[in-house]
Structures are given as structure tokens and as C-alpha cells.
Structure 1
């Protein structure tokens, strides 16, 4: 069934499509039902058609993007740029505003530079983690890429959405150094030292003369990022993979307080993950294989399942990077901290050093393994998650965890909760909601649970790290201080840079034409 951009007639949209075809080639303008269906979100918590696109465009270069922008401005066609559209659980390639035209940048897929001496790279949006790792391997590079949990998507897209990996460079947005961006009017801008003709320092320094603008273009709809500079990690002399099992549920506060100083002193020098009991019991199984009763899996059954697997209630995993002697010192300090704070914890360590073959536990190989859990609740499965940002203080983390677990149980959902020790001073919770996509009652319950938790988090001053496009307005509305001063500022910037509102209207709750801040269906 045809879908039109808001405010356009079929006649005017057909005229715009003809101009798009002339600009980039008819074969790169996709309008069939099958083509448009390929851009729907397979994990949407509700009707996929709520976020259906009107068409898709796939330019090959910046010049093609500029031609598209000129046409879109003239016809007021909203565009939804995607690097590769693999942002699973957050909307993939689907637009927030129904009827937007997808601007698919996957053909812009060049690795423009890898500088071994400086440990930097410059890539285009269509470069995937698989592509990037393959190129590093082809060159025999001594630089390591930080990869996310699943590696199907774009290196640029993941960094722009504040994605996370498992090395000391695991905060991917913090590794950005210099962008080339295309404004809505077609102006091409290079940020930072890239604004100097003939520079060799574009990827060397993030804080040039004047405002540092790279962050403005992450999780926003202010421009199209056409190139990005990134910092890469030199191959370490050694590495240790650490797994810690903590037996009791009521050890959580002590666990957070034990990990915090280790991360703040850089003893743990990469992001760590914490998983609760529910998150540990899969082992390749689906829910029906371990529990067929109503509601969430009850605590007594959870205890049985964890005992079967030899797991504690909490599991902590992280990697350390250093020389072999440096790793010895780090591990000794970690063991002493846990002996003092959580003496019943069990610590296991695997070691690697330069020259040894790499193994999957190292978490810097590319992978799609995490997608295997999507059918946990039933097939065809889907999932999304709530991602509160929390200070790594035991009492604060426990307060947030208790609210999340209580609400999940109240709504009859298994509280799959994990946490990233994403930096020295922040825990990002990942509370996964698994659902059966064909079960309208199940998806409605997840939507209601998410919005209830938004209210709960806002009430205690906790915001979100990112969210599915269906909930972007809800997440933006949580920033209520000063009569929503921050969302209003974002809208003012949007109006200045994109007066016709053609770039990703509604992304992060910014610049949605026909809605006010507030809950959506």
C-alpha cells in the first residue's frame, strides 16, 4: 500500500521521485512494497506500519546527497538518513515519522585512511565492523578496532548512537575526532582541524579553536555525517579476560561499590558488564524450555536454573589490557578488592599475549552472536530495552535496579537486566524486553512497561542512554528541568540548521512537525 510523506499529494511526490531518479539514477530509487518493507523495523514493539517509509534513496557520494537535499527542500520531503540501518532494538532503518524517505548511505562505504603511526582512521557511513576488521587484517595492522556486541552495523552509525565496545576505546563516541557533515541546505562542513586546508592534524586533536562540534551531530538530526575520523587502539602486549561470579542477589550494592574504585583508578581499564540471574540462564535455550507457567520466571525456579549452570546471581565480565607484568599487578589489586568487599565471589582469568592466536572470549572479534536471544519469549521474537544512566554508587544502582525488577515482574515479564560500566563514573543499565511480535497483547504490555519505567526514572532524576524510535518523544519529555529548556534548545538549533525540517524529523524527539513532546502510540 502506498505511503506518502506528510503534506504531499501523490502527484507532487511522484514529481519529486522523478527528480530523485534523474539525480542519482533510477536503479537507486526504491519505491516497491517489497523494497520499502525491507526498511521496516523487524523488532518494532507494535505495528511496523506506524513507521513505514514512502521510498528509499541510495546515493553513492556526497554530490548525490547534495542533489537529494536540494530536491527534498524544494518539495518538503522528509529524509531519514541511515548509515546501514542495523541499529537493532532501537528502530533499525525505519523512520520515526511515517512517510519519511530513507536516505540509505550504505553505498558510501570507503575506508579512506588508516594511519598506523597515529592510530587513526577515516571512514564513510557504509563501512561495517566486518568490513573494517577485514581491512585491518588484510593490512596486517597492529591497530585494534573496538567492536559492539553484534557487528553487523556501521562503524559511524554505532559511534553516532553512542555504542559501546569492550576495549579501553569502548566508548565509541569518545573515539570520534573530526567529522565531515552535510547540512540540510547542502553546505559541506569539516569540523575541528579539518577546517584547515592541507591539515595533517584533523584526527590528532578534538579541541580546536572555537566550539568543538563533533558531539552536536551524535544522536541528533542536525546534519548528515558523510565522513568520520576515529581513534584506534594499538595492539596491547597482553590481555586478561576476567569473569566474576557473585552468589547472592543482595550482594549487588557491595558489587557496585567494589567495582567503582577499580574502574575510577583505571585498574579495570575497559568497560565491564554485570548480568543479573535472568540474563544468565539462556545457554541457547528459549523460555518455554525452562518455564511454562504464567508471568515471569519465579525466584525459586531461577535459583534452580542458576545452580544447574554453576552461576552466581550476578556475573561480571571484563577485559584488562597491559603488559604481562602490568596485568599481574592489575589482577592482584582486583583480587584483593573482592577478597575485602565480596569474599564469596569467584574469579576466573584467561590470559593472552602478543603472538598467541586470538580467541572469541577476547570480545574484539566481530560477531552476530547476541542476536540469538531474540526468540527467548516466542517466535517470531523481538526485543527492545530501557537504558537508564546511573552513577555507580551501590545505593543508587540498587534503587534503580529494584524499580526495574519490580516493574518487570508486575507486568509479567522476565527482568533481563545487564549493566555496562561504560566509563569510570557511569553505569548504563540495559533492561531487555523480549516479546512475541505477532502477539498484540504482549507488545502492548511492553510498551506500557517502558512508559511506566520512564515515569519511574524521571521521578528519581534518571535519564536514558538511547531508546527505540517509538519512544523518542517519551525520552525527550523526561528532560523537564526549566520547562523543558534542553528539548526546546534542541528545537531552536534544529530550526536554525534545517528550517524546512527535512532531516530525520522526530529523531531524539527533535523537530517533529506535527507533534508536541509526549507519549506516542
Structure 2
């Protein structure tokens, strides 16, 4: 049995609580031994081994078991960590915010409750993955597309609740969310939007209802347990034209996004387009040691050889056009004129024997896959953590952010490996810091680099939209307008909705009152 204990709970009370939980969910769904609990660790963590490990795990099968379990958690004041599919890798995976929490694992709740072909939506439970929903749609003959995140094993609900993104025109997953069922800490069940009308046929058709809009309050938070969520799905278009354009120079990044912005704002390019740097792109098909086995960032001369060997640019831009072929071809003229005006640009409408191309083409047409995990072979050792600041899709701003972050990566001995993903009026910059977890110096360097980037990005006016467990408090403190009024509001809500502080304490830097001084 695990030797870790929840904070403030003695061993006899803990054993009694677990017995009561076993009576609710079944003894086989309460885990206390080290082997099953090891699956709840962050396998790629920048922290030392032995940190952020749970005391136990409980896996309910339905909403009623959740309600009953919450009574036990409240009675014993057990801190729990709630998650659906647990694939949040590079951001902490399924691991808890602190060691000793009880994992509240909702993977057993994996039903696809409804698919509506006419209105283009699905209603899912927390454990439904992109793969599962995609297979179900194909099995029933649906013409609807899933919008998967990069790894297809992730959770449809979990990714939307974490503000995640995909690569089709439905790429902003929270925008495409519609209607939630939530169990509050005291067991009360709330449905948002039109779901609050008994028997409403429009729960997943419109987000709005009379009164405030609460759905966003349950994203990246610890105010309730989401048990059902509607997600809008894209109808299969009559045409699809994916493309890739390579750009020779790092400084082309500014011109790329100045050209992209009007195309995105006007929905000429409707999907979540992405500019991928050379090393991210090539890591799907080779390894760093194949080209360079020295310490520190790869020299420019070797970067140029990599680009030449694989017909790649320093930046590699992917996007797609969708719709009736005549509209695609008309819009394509605008895209080609804008994006090919940058000197040295090379256009690809197909690439043979290129797993990176195949991976992007699948993502942009809603086909889940796992190719992106192959980039873990670039360094070896599995360690990675994503630094994810937000900016506007402005060329000067993108280049400034890139130069700042690349320089810090080099200062700490790491390659810059990143991509810029463009929404309508925002840009997600994803830096993947890769390291060998068995190399203690490298792992510690990745941690220190990340911490440095958080503060420097905030000083430059950039905040992260998502982060690893280890940096939630630091990032929360960068949102400091009016003496941190936003997080003061979060804490006021926490105290009212979860007075015992049992739901995911510390999630996104939101702590219950009894633990706030340590956050």
C-alpha cells in the first residue's frame, strides 16, 4: 500500500474513508498499491522522481457514484485530483498538484451519449477519447469530423476544459463546447445553458440561456466535476486542399504572420494554421544524435544541412482550405499570392514518404493519430515540458517572442523546438523543452529555463494559456493587474463553492483557504 497520506488525515481515518469509497464504487475500483498508482505519475516531469504522487485512486462509474463519493471526501476532508482521460502530457499528465491527493479518475465514464448529425454535435462523458469518438462516427456512418488534439489518445472533454486546440476549422475546443453537466462539491448537479430547461432539445445547439454564462468557470478550475459536455463537430466538407510552404530564414516568421493575419481574420484560411520550426518538423523522422552529438544547441551550419537533407525550411507552414471546389480554388489564389510572396518560399501539395506531412494532413481533416509522440526520440529519455505563451498573430510580435525564447533556450543549453498555431485573433506559441529525464543536470536545466521564461514573458506582456503543474502558482502570480484581483475572484468563488477545499486544490494556482498560504 502507498505510504503517502493526504495532508491533515491520519491513517485510521484514511483507511475508513477508503472502505466507504469501496462500498460505493466497488473494491476493485479503489487503488492503493504502488503498481497501479504508478500510472498516475507524470512520466515526463521536470521534477525529481518521487514528487507529485498520489495516496490512492478512486474510479466512479457514473454521476450517482460521484455524488456519493463527494460526501465521503467532504466528511474526511480528503483532497482529490479530478481528471477524465489523464493524457495531459507536457503539462503534468494525470499527476496530482501535490503528493498525497486521492485521484478521482473518471475514465470509466466513457459513453458517447448522443451524436446529432443534423445539428453537428456530440454529447460525451469525461473518458471519451478522440480515437473513440472518431471510430464511433465512422461505425455509424456519420459524415461529421472530430477535431483531435495532436495525440489522438487524449480526452475530448479534458482537452476542451484545458483550453486545448486542434487543427481543423473547429480548432478552438472551448469555443466548440456547448453545454455542461457539473456536480458541485456538495453533490448538487447543475446543467449549463439550455440544459437547465427540463427536456430541452437545444442543449447542444446554443450556449446561451437567461442569466450568466458559467461554462468557462469550469475550465482550468476546481469549482466542480464536469460529467457531460457537448461538443460541436464539423460536417465533412465537399472539398479539402491541404498545403505546406517552407521558408528559408528564421526572420521570415514576421512576414509569414503579417501575410496570414488578413487571411485568418477573413476566414480565407479557416483552420488553425501552424508554423512549425525546423527541429520540431524533422524530429518526426530522425534524431539529434544523427546530426550532432555535442552539448548545447545545434550549430547553424548543421541546421542548414538538416533543412537541405529533408527539403524543409527554418519555418514550415501548414494550413488547408475547405468547401466546394470552386470556392477553394478562388480562395487559393488569395493564399498563393500572399504566402508565396516571401522570397525563397516553396509550396508543397504532396510529399512522399514524409511522416510529418502525413501527420499534419490527417490532423487537418480530423483523423486522430499518435505521430507527434515520435518526436520524443529527438533527444531520448522522454522528458518534455511545454511553455505556451499567447500573443496576437502579428509578425513583429511573433518574431520578438521567438527571439526572446530562442535566446533563453540557447543560454540554458537547449535547442529551440516550437510552433506557432494561429486562431482567429490569437496565436498559441508552443515551445517544447526536451530533455533526458535520466540526466539530472539536463532535467534541472529544463526546470530553471521554464521558470525564467515565465517571468520574462510576463515582463514583455505575454501570459501562458496553459501550464505544467509545477508552475501553476508562478504563472497565476503573473496575472497581477490590480493586486491580483482576478485570482482574488477565483479564491472567493472557491471558498463559496468548495468550502472544505476538496476539489483539486492548487489547480491553476487556485487554493482553498486552509492551504492558501502555501500556494
TM range (shorter): over 0.9
2:209 match: 208
1:354 match: none
2:339 match: 338
Query: 1:214-251 CA distances to partner (integer Å, 9 max, x unpaired)?
Result: 11111111110000011111110000111011111221
Structure 2 stretches of 5 or more lacking a match? 352-357
| Kept in 2: contact 1:46–1:440 (CA 8 A) | no
| Kept in 1: contact 2:280–2:375 (CA 8 A) | no
1:289 match: 290
1:391 match: 392
| Kept in 2: contact 1:121–1:232 (CA 8 A) | yes
| Kept in 2: contact 1:46–1:437 (CA 8 A) | no
CA–CA distance in structure 1, aligned partners of residues 518 and 312 of structure 2:
43
Counting only pairs closer than 5 Å after superposition, residues 254-333 of structure 1 correspond to structure 2 as 254-333=255-334
| Kept in 1: contact 2:114–2:124 (CA 8 A) | yes
CA–CA distance in structure 2, aligned partners of residues 246 and 5 of structure 1:
53
1:370 match: 372
C-alpha deviation, 1:79, in angstroms:
1.0
C-alpha deviation, 1:283, in angstroms:
4.2
C-alpha deviation, 1:516, in angstroms:
4.3
Asked if 1:436 is matched to 2:448, the reply is no
CA–CA distance in structure 1, aligned partners of residues 135 and 284 of structure 2:
29
CA–CA distance in structure 2, aligned partners of residues 48 and 502 of structure 1:
25
Q: What secondary structure, in the 3-state scheme, does the structure 2 residue paired with 1:503 have? A: coil
C-alpha deviation, 1:348, in angstroms:
2.1
2:461 match: 461
CA–CA distance in structure 2, aligned partners of residues 428 and 307 of structure 1:
28
Q: What secondary structure, in the 3-state scheme, does the structure 1 residue paired with 2:378 have? A: coil
CA–CA distance in structure 1, aligned partners of residues 360 and 464 of structure 2:
30
C-alpha deviation, 1:361, in angstroms:
2.0
Asked if 1:405 is matched to 2:406, the reply is yes
Counting only pairs closer than 5 Å after superposition, residues 139-218 of structure 1 correspond to structure 2 as 139-218=140-219
CA–CA distance in structure 2, aligned partners of residues 339 and 3 of structure 1:
58
| Kept in 1: contact 2:359–2:369 (CA 8 A) | no
Q: What secondary structure, in the 3-state scheme, does the structure 2 residue paired with 1:174 have? A: coil
C-alpha deviation, 1:360, in angstroms:
7.3
Q: What secondary structure, in the 3-state scheme, does the structure 2 residue paired with 1:177 have? A: strand
Query: 1:417-469 CA distances to partner (integer Å, 9 max, x unpaired)?
Result: 11111x21111101111011122111110110001001111101110010111
CA–CA distance in structure 2, aligned partners of residues 464 and 287 of structure 1:
28
CA–CA distance in structure 1, aligned partners of residues 178 and 471 of structure 2:
30
Query: 1:140-160 CA distances to partner (integer Å, 9 max, x unpaired)?
Result: 001111111111121111111
2:509 match: 509
Give the count of matched residue pairs. Answer: 509
CA–CA distance in structure 2, aligned partners of residues 442 and 219 of structure 1:
29
CA–CA distance in structure 2, aligned partners of residues 338 and 158 of structure 1:
31
Q: 1:359 to 1:15 in 2, by over 3 A?
A: closer
1:420 match: 421
| Kept in 1: contact 2:283–2:374 (CA 8 A) | no
Asked if 1:483 is matched to 2:483, the reply is yes
1:119 match: 120
- TM-score when normalising by structure 1: 0.95
Query: 1:2-52 CA distances to partner (integer Å, 9 max, x unpaired)?
Result: 110001111111111111111211111000011111111101112242200
Q: 1:375 to 1:145 in 2, by over 3 A?
A: same
| Kept in 2: contact 1:477–1:517 (CA 8 A) | no
Q: What secondary structure, in the 3-state scheme, does the structure 2 residue paired with 1:375 have? A: helix
Counting only pairs closer than 5 Å after superposition, residues 45-194 of structure 1 correspond to structure 2 as 45-194=46-195
| Kept in 1: contact 2:259–2:339 (CA 8 A) | yes
C-alpha deviation, 1:339, in angstroms:
4.1
1:2 match: 3
| Kept in 1: contact 2:379–2:435 (CA 8 A) | yes
Q: 1:516 to 1:260 in 2, by over 3 A?
A: farther
Q: 1:322 to 1:185 in 2, by over 3 A?
A: same
| Kept in 1: contact 2:85–2:107 (CA 8 A) | yes
| Kept in 2: contact 1:166–1:319 (CA 8 A) | no
CA–CA distance in structure 2, aligned partners of residues 409 and 29 of structure 1:
46
Q: 1:105 to 1:339 in 2, by over 3 A?
A: closer
Structure 1 stretches of 5 or more lacking a match? 352-357
CA–CA distance in structure 1, aligned partners of residues 283 and 39 of structure 2:
29
C-alpha RMSD of the superposition:
1.6
CA–CA distance in structure 2, aligned partners of residues 283 and 8 of structure 1:
47
1:349 match: 349
Query: 1:62-85 CA distances to partner (integer Å, 9 max, x unpaired)?
Result: 010011100000100011111011
Q: What secondary structure, in the 3-state scheme, does the structure 2 residue paired with 1:333 have? A: helix
C-alpha deviation, 1:306, in angstroms:
0.9
CA–CA distance in structure 1, aligned partners of residues 34 and 395 of structure 2:
51
C-alpha deviation, 1:343, in angstroms:
3.9
Query: 1:192-225 CA distances to partner (integer Å, 9 max, x unpaired)?
Result: 1100011111111112111111111111111100
- TM-score when normalising by structure 2: 0.96
CA–CA distance in structure 2, aligned partners of residues 149 and 369 of structure 1:
8
CA–CA distance in structure 2, aligned partners of residues 479 and 427 of structure 1:
18
| Kept in 1: contact 2:70–2:185 (CA 8 A) | yes
